[in-house]
Amino acid sequence: MNGFDAAYSFGLYENELRRLIHLFKYGRIQTLAQPLGRMLASALPREEQFDVLVPMPMHWIRRWRRGFNQAELLAGELSRRTHLDVRQAVQRVHHRQAQAGLTNSKRRLNVAGAFRVRNAKGIEGKRVLLIDDVMTTGATASACARVLKRAGAAHVSLLTVGRVDRRIAHIDPATVSDSESTFSGSFEHAKSGSIA
């Protein structure tokens, strides 16, 4: 079963955008959720319709260490702009090695079986928009999307603030986010089969 059906991002995970995301996540400046949420909203294709927002879940240990889940804050900001409900539909059940520094194949293995759906009734037949801060290879988002689809979601798209352009050699994937999900430049659309 394929992962997500489409992916959208505000921009490339580099320069100022990368610094903003790092301040948000690692500097714990939660007020940055508002401008980053505006960026998410601007990257959302107007021709697409969604029923529900689902933030990428974090394992409770990682959430406890950070103090918040950045994807939840971003989903909340997007919800205020789109009036779509936010559902904590997916739970991360395994605390695995951070994705940073892993190869594509090891990333996929690392997230295999990492997610489970909490309440399938909330997503059955729905067009789900999965929210995260950054997409690197798409392995984490694909694993999460597969679980949502098995639970009955009709369509799963991914929306992130930043994406890593893996064609650019100067970006080191080992320095990217720990929730690892990234793709698509502003208003770019990509089928999941084209994502490495």
Asked, for residue 189, whether it belongs to a domain, the answer is: no
Handedness of CA 91, 96, 100, 102 (dihedral sign): negative
pLDDT in tens, 1-14: 458 999 999 999 99
Asked, for residue 175, whether it belongs to a domain, the answer is: yes
d(CA 74, CA 50): 16
% pLDDT > 70, the chain = 73
- DSSP class of 84: P
Tokens 């394992």: give the residue.
Answer: 59
Q: What average pLDDT does range 78-89 have in this prediction? A: 95
pLDDT of 154 > 50? The answer is yes
Asked, for residue 187, whether it belongs to a domain, the answer is: no
Asked, for residue 196, whether it belongs to a domain, the answer is: no
| pLDDT for 120 | 84
CB–CB of 5/193 below 8 Å?
no
Give the three-class secondary structure for 58: coil
Tokens of 139: 């392995």
Concatenated DSSP letters of 110-165: HHTT-EEES-GGGTTT-EEEEEEEEESSSHHHHHHHHHHHHTT-SEEEEEEEEE--
Asked, for residue 1, whether it belongs to a domain, the answer is: no
Q: Cα 60 vs. chain centroid, distance in angstroms?
A: 17
pLDDT of 119 > 90? The answer is no
Asked, for residue 188, whether it belongs to a domain, the answer is: no
Tokens 């194949």: give the residue.
Answer: 105
| pLDDT for 183 | 33
Asked, for residue 193, whether it belongs to a domain, the answer is: no
Say what angle helices 33-43 and 70-82 make with each other, to 10 degrees.
Answer: 60
Q: How confident is the model at residue 61 (pLDDT cuts 50, 70, 90)?
A: confident
Q: Into how many domains does the chain fold?
A: 1
CATH number at residue 125: 3.40.50
Give the three-class secondary structure for 52: strand
| pLDDT for 111 | 58
Nearest to 111 by CA among 96, 130, 100, 101: 96
- What is the residue range of 15's domain? 6-182
Kindly list the strands in the beta sheet with 127-135, ordered across the sheet, starting from the edge strand earlier in the chain.
Answer: 6-12, 155-163, 127-135, 52-55, 85-86
pTM above 0.85, yes or no: no
pLDDT in tens, 135-146: 988 888 999 999
Asked, for residue 178, whether it belongs to a domain, the answer is: yes
% pLDDT > 90, the chain = 58
pLDDT in tens, 177-189: 444 333 333 333 3
